[in-house]
């Protein structure tokens, strides 16, 4: 038997990682501050459903849960754009058969917790990390009644999310530097109910109502409901702040999203009752201090517009597992390699997620954008993987996010400066490949 590892946080990343490490032969304990979600409510404040794609599925595959997870999803082939006049248009994400998968956060987390316990992971619920001692690898925890306990392990992993207590302890020791950049927009979730045992709108798409400074999206659930997320500025006109002043919720929806009120009969109640949550990008480095390591949102929390936060956290677990294989479980070698290889990639997906906010709210309804997407599709059709559109590199491939970001910049530069009236598709491809090879991509 190998040593003992403590994971802080039984969210999506912590519970997945616990299974990987248990299967490698470690004794694994998890401390989770909340109740066991299998016995109660998951609690507000995070998205109800998530888009699960290639990188996340790869990690689920190594613990044998990919196919089971895929039974819990509604596949989405593309974006359904809702224009202000009510017209809708489906824009496919990738090739025929390439989909992103809408999955319930709660169902996925339950699946992972069940498997973790089946593999012999000890999960301590209602056990909140209060502080840790970086030199002795000790942890202090408290339960709901305030009773204090201590625990100790060879390695302690902080998978305790964007507001990580482990990261804050590391900061307290002066071991890591963290930045937090607020988006200036917040979000609120709303639910479109099922229509007499059917979906009220087309099920196999991610619906977007792009309205420049405002945006509404909706992802389908297997119970035939949709979870909508409304993104608004924090201040100024049409902000969450302006609603609390005017209370004109219905007017607002009729003005900007006129096809939505008929789909949500209790729109005003939901709007008033559901929490408004902020969005930010959190970066920190290093991720390792002594025998402590950060992973998932604790190390890199991003805005949700590429649907990659969980997928990136799952990819962290995939890469960590690969490095443990390569280095014979020598954690002192693995931890520095892990943070180095992941940091540039999680910084890249943070940038891409912010860029995609602009794309989703401003560009998807723009005829120029649609023309450019068609051109990229044609390049991909003619040349296959030699021209892979940026969305496909991020969502349907294993290419490092940092490489996808750089290749995306080259594509953007070429498509902005050249058009097919002047040069042919082959010349565009040649330019792209030449530039990528200059950049050693
Ligand atoms: C609106 C929205 C939509 C999103 N959509 C997508 C999407 O479509 N696709 C995608 O891939 N990602 C998406 N994400 C991102 C995704 O939710 C996160 O990246 C993912 O949840 C990170 O998982 P995690 O396990 O690292 O952190 P978390 O899910 O935050 O889990 C952390 C766990 O640690 C526990 N914890 C916290 N503090 C302590 C403590 N002191 N002691 C003990 N336990 C503690 C928490 O209770 C929690 O269970 C979205 C995020 C938001 C906000």
pLDDT in tens, the chain (441 residues): 689 999 999 999 999 999 999 999 999 999 999 999 999 765 555 668 999 999 999 999 999 999 999 999 999 999 999 999 999 999 999 999 999 999 999 999 999 999 999 999 999 999 999 999 999 999 999 999 999 999 999 999 999 999 999 999 999 989 899 999 999 999 999 999 999 889 999 999 999 999 998 999 999 999 999 999 999 999 998 898 887 666 689 999 999 999 999 999 999 999 999 999 999 999 999 999 999 999 999 999 999 999 999 999 999 999 999 999 999 999 999 999 999 999 999 999 999 999 999 888 888 778 888 888 889 999 999 999 999 999 999 999 999 999 999 999 999 999 888 776 778 899 999 999 999 999 999
Same-domain status, 38 and 121:
yes
CA of 11 to the centre of ligand 1 (A): 6
The closest residue, in CA terms, to atom 50 on ligand 1 is 304
- Return d(Cα 112, Cα 288) in angstroms, integer: 25
Same-domain status, 153 and 258:
no
End-to-end CA distance of the chain: 42
Which residues form the domain of 258? Answer: 184-278
The closest residue, in CA terms, to atom 49 on ligand 1 is 11
| Residue-level pLDDT at 1 | 63
Contact 199, 230 (CB under 8 A): no
The one-character DSSP state at 262 is G
Residue with tokens 């996010």: 401
Q: Which of 7, 20, 33, 229 to mutate to test the pocket of ligand 1 (most atoms within 8 A of CB)?
A: 33
Instruction: Write down which residue in 246, 278, 310 finishes a domain.
Output: 278
Q: Which of 6, 8, 10, 11 to mutate to test the pocket of ligand 1 (most atoms within 8 A of CB)?
A: 11
Tell me the pTM: 0.96
Q: Is residue 97 part of a domain?
A: no
Contact 390, 408 (CB under 8 A): yes
Long-range pairs of 426-430 with CB within 8 A, sequence gap ≥ 24? 428/379, 429/379, 429/382, 429/383, 429/386, 429/387
Q: Is 202 helix (H, G, I), strand (E, B) or coil?
A: coil
* 129 close to ligand 1 (CB < 6 Angstrom): yes
**Residue 2, CB-side half-sphere exposure with 13 Å CA sphere:** 17
CA of 313 to the centre of ligand 1 (A): 9
* 185 close to ligand 1 (CB < 6 Angstrom): no
Same-domain status, 265 and 190:
yes
- Return d(Cα 288, Cα 282) in angstroms, integer: 16
Same-domain status, 206 and 159:
no
CA distances from 260 to 2, 193, 251, 273, 317 (A): 55, 12, 12, 18, 39
Backbone angles phi, psi at 84, to 5 degrees: -60, -30
| Residue-level pLDDT at 48 | 87
Same-domain status, 212 and 262:
yes
CA of 34 to the centre of ligand 1 (A): 13
* 310 close to ligand 1 (CB < 6 Angstrom): yes
CA of 80 to the centre of ligand 1 (A): 26
- Return d(Cα 373, Cα 93) in angstroms, integer: 10
Instruction: Write down which residue in 356, 378, 408 finishes a domain.
Output: 356
Q: In what order do the strands lie in the sheet with 128-133?
A: 128-133, 138-142, 148-152
* 158 close to ligand 1 (CB < 6 Angstrom): no
Q: Which residues pair with 307 in a beta bridge?
A: none
* 124 close to ligand 1 (CB < 6 Angstrom): no
- Return d(Cα 439, Cα 320) in angstroms, integer: 27
* 108 close to ligand 1 (CB < 6 Angstrom): no
Same-domain status, 308 and 232:
no
CA of 416 to the centre of ligand 1 (A): 37
Instruction: Write down which residue in 278, 294, 329 finishes a domain.
Output: 278
Q: Is residue 91 part of a domain?
A: no
* 51 close to ligand 1 (CB < 6 Angstrom): yes
Task: Please report the atom of ligand 1 found closest to the CA of residue 189.
Answer: 1
The CATH number assigned to the domain holding 53 equals: 3.50.50.60
CA of 161 to the centre of ligand 1 (A): 5
Same-domain status, 33 and 124:
yes
The structure tokens listed for 239 are 């902000």
Same-domain status, 144 and 14:
yes
Number of domains in the chain: 3
Same-domain status, 324 and 385:
no
Residue with tokens 């996340």: 56
Contact 411, 68 (CB under 8 A): no
Same-domain status, 154 and 301:
yes
Task: Please report the atom of ligand 1 found closest to the CA of residue 31.
Answer: 43
The closest residue, in CA terms, to atom 21 on ligand 1 is 310
- Return d(Cα 230, Cα 46) in angstroms, integer: 13
Q: Is residue 33 part of a domain?
A: yes
- Return d(Cα 92, Cα 374) in angstroms, integer: 10
The structure tokens listed for 86 are 């009510």
Same-domain status, 262 and 285:
no
| Residue-level pLDDT at 422 | 76
* 50 close to ligand 1 (CB < 6 Angstrom): yes
Same-domain status, 266 and 346:
no
| Residue-level pLDDT at 368 | 84
* 160 close to ligand 1 (CB < 6 Angstrom): yes
CA of 383 to the centre of ligand 1 (A): 38
* 9 close to ligand 1 (CB < 6 Angstrom): yes
- Return d(Cα 170, Cα 147) in angstroms, integer: 23
The structure tokens listed for 226 are 């949709």
- Return d(Cα 286, Cα 367) in angstroms, integer: 43
């Amino acid at each position: 038997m190998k040593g003992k590892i403590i994971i802080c946080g039984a969210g999506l990343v912590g519970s997945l990682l616990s299974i990987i490490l248990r299967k490698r032969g470690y004794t694994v304990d998890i401390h989770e501050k909340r109740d066991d979600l299998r016995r109660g409510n998951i609690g507000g404040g995070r998205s109800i459903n998530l888009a699960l794609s290639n990188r996340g599925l790869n990690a689920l595959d190594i613990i044998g849960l990919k196919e089971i997870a895929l039974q819990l999803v509604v596949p989405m082939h593309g974006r359904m754009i809702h224009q202000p006049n009510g017209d809708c248009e489906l824009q496919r994400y990738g090739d025929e058969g390439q989909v992103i998968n809408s999955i319930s956060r709660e169902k996925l987390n339950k699946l992972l917790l069940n498997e973790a316990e089946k593999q012999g992971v000890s999960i301590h619920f209602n056990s909140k990390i209060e502080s840790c001692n970086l030199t002795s690898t000790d942890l202090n925890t408290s339960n709901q009644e305030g009773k204090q306990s201590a625990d100790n392990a060879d390695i302690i992993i902080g998978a305790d999310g964007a507001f990580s207590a482990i990261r804050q302890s590391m900061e307290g020791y002066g071991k890591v530097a963290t930045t937090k950049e607020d988006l200036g927009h917040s979000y609120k979730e709303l639910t479109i109910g099922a229509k007499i045992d059917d979906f009220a709108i087309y099920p196999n798409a991610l619906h977007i109502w792009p309205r420049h400074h405002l945006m509404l999206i909706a992802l389908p659930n297997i119970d035939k409901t949709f979870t909508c997320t409304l993104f608004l500025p924090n201040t100024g006109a049409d902000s969450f702040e302006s609603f609390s002043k005017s209370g004109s919720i219905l007017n607002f929806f009729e003005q900007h999203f006129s096809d939505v009120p008929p789909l949500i009969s209790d729109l005003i109640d939901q709007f008033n009752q559901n929490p408004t949550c902020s969005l930010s990008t959190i970066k920190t480095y290093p991720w390792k201090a002594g025998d402590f390591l950060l992973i998932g949102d604790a190390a890199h929390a991003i805005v949700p517009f590429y649907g990659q936060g969980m997928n990136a956290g799952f990819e962290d677990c995939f890469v960590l597992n690969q490095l443990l294989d390569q280095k014979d479980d020598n954690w002192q070698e693995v931890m520095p390699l892990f943070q180095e290889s992941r940091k540039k990639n999680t910084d890249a997906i943070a940038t891409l997620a912010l860029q995609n906010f602009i794309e989703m709210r401003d560009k998807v309804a723009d005829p120029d954008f649609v023309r450019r997407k068609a051109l990229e599709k044609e390049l991909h059709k003619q040349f296959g993987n030699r021209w892979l559109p940026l969305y496909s590199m991020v969502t349907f491939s294993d290419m490092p996010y940092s490489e996808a970001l750089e290749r995306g910049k080259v594509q953007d530069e070429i498509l902005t400066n050249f058009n097919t009236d002047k040069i042919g598709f082959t010349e565009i491809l040649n330019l792209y490949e030449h530039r990528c090879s200059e950049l050693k991509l």
